[in-house]
Amino acid sequence: MTPGLERRLERAVERFEEIERLLAEPELADDPRRFTALSREYSDLQSIVETWREMERLDEREAEAREMLAESDSDMRKMAVDELGEIETGRERLDRQLQRLIVPPDPNDRKNLFLEIRAGTGGQEAALFAGDLFRMYGRYAESQGWRIEVLSGQQGDAGGWRELIARVIGNGAYSKLKFESGTHRVQRVPATESQGRIHTSACTVAILPEVDEVDDVRVDPSELRIDTYRSSGAGGQHVNTTDSAIRITHLPTGIVVECQDERSQHKNKARAMSLLSARLLEAERSQQQSEQAADRKLQVGSGDRSERIRTYNFPQGRVTDHRIGLTLYDLENILEGGLDELIEPLAEAHQADLLAELG
């Protein structure tokens, strides 16, 4: 463990002990908001401190085992060697656990998200690929017990989607899918290709955490243009018979959001405002990350939609994630929603990157 991480752990223990004293103060009962905030912070630090104290107990056991190792009795020395082996295994386990716990959690990890898929280069084939991606995410969401609501979309002439915006509802949805933002490229022979040539098409994917409250983002109503129109029906479960679909334009940035899923104009407006807030927050976050990550080699989760993050090669049955150099020959399973074999290595790489920064 690096000196930087050790100092961070020591500060965490000091803060934990400070919060313990504060929670014991009788006057804290008169301030429910502060009590709740301190209780939450206490809970977040508890696992770190318990693991750190377990590590200290291992140090004490090691000192005792080394004393035994100096004994003249051969049985005692053998016991000491066995004890030291167990201690080393336990220390490695606790060290990994501490490194995972000490990384500050992403405050968005437990949130729902907005999923945006847009066909890029490749015409009809790109739209079909957008449909494949949406099906892939849908299957994965189903395996996780999440729900998906399609908010708006424009279908392709030959199937698939030219663009699609959906809301994914489920605990931890953002933590799992946040690394999917970027350009996804497909290499395959289109059904309309008579000579068997491989074509390359692309789609962009954006994953935006849902804002808890619209008030989290300051949006001046005078900077909004709100239009109502009749839904085409492609984006929802039904065709609306009234002008209940909503389009909101944020004039300073030119960001446009639409929602046509709900029958109620009021509900569509609320959902569209939530999406607009998420877009505005994402734009600000992406700018900050671009500045901070200018010199970083690993761009996991940068959210840069121009960045080519993954290639799906049908002739070889291959999926390659270019950010971490991972290649899997399991294309069919991945497109059926088997995303964990991509998500887990990406999360581990991101964790290692954050630890390197902390260290």
CATH number at residue 24: 1.20.58
The phi, psi pair for 154, rounded to 5°, reads -130, 115
Flag the least confident range among 32-36, 87-91, 355-359.
Answer: 355-359
- Kindly state the tokens that stand for 159: 């199937």
Q: What angle do CA 167, 170, 174 make, to 5 degrees?
A: 75
**Span 296-316, average pLDDT:** 65
Amino acid, single-letter form, for residue 201? S
Is residue 239 very low, low, confident or very high in pLDDT (cuts 50, 70, 90)?
very low
24 in any annotated domain: yes
CB 308 within 8 A of CB 240: no
Is residue 10 very low, low, confident or very high in pLDDT (cuts 50, 70, 90)?
confident
Q: Is the pLDDT of residue 204 over 90?
A: yes
CATH of the domain at 119: 3.30.70.1660
CB 8 within 8 A of CB 358: yes
Is residue 217 very low, low, confident or very high in pLDDT (cuts 50, 70, 90)?
low
359 in any annotated domain: no
pLDDT at 87: 93
Query: Per residue in 249-287, is it b (16+ CB within 10 Å) or e — as a string?
Result: bbeeeeeebbbbbbeebeebbebbbbbbbbbbbbeeebe
- Kindly state the tokens that stand for 168: 């994914």
Report how far apart the first and last C-alpha atoms of the chain are (Å, whole number).
8
Do 229 and 321 share a structural domain?
Answer: yes
Q: Is the pLDDT of residue 215 over 50?
A: no
DSSP state of 211: P
358 in any annotated domain: no
Flag the least confident range among 43-57, 127-141, 335-349.
Answer: 43-57
> Which of the two residues, 194 and 66, has the higher pLDDT score?
66
182 in any annotated domain: yes
**What are the strands of the beta sheet with 199-209, ordered from one edge?**
147-155, 161-169, 113-119, 199-209, 182-188, 308-313, 318-321, 326-328
Residues 321-340 have pLDDT tens digits of 999 999 999 999 999 999 99
Q: Is the pLDDT of residue 214 over 70?
A: no
pTM of the model: 0.65
Do 123 and 98 share a structural domain?
Answer: no
Bridge-based pairing of strands 224-229 and 245-250 is: antiparallel
Amino acid, single-letter form, for residue 161? W
Residue whose token pair is 């965490």: 12
Q: How far apart are CA 296 and CA 156, in angstroms?
A: 38
331 in any annotated domain: yes
User: Residue 336 sits in which domain range?
Assistant: 113-353
Q: How far apart are CA 5 and CA 20, in angstroms?
A: 23
* Bridge partners (DSSP) listed for residue 155: 161
Flag the least confident range among 133-147, 320-334, 343-357.
Answer: 343-357
Do 71 and 201 share a structural domain?
Answer: no
Start-end of H helices in 247-339: 265-292, 331-335
**Span 311-315, average pLDDT:** 96
Is residue 213 very low, low, confident or very high in pLDDT (cuts 50, 70, 90)?
low
Q: Is the pLDDT of residue 263 over 80?
A: no
pLDDT at 71: 79
> Which of the two residues, 25 and 290, has the higher pLDDT score?
25
Do 179 and 43 share a structural domain?
Answer: no
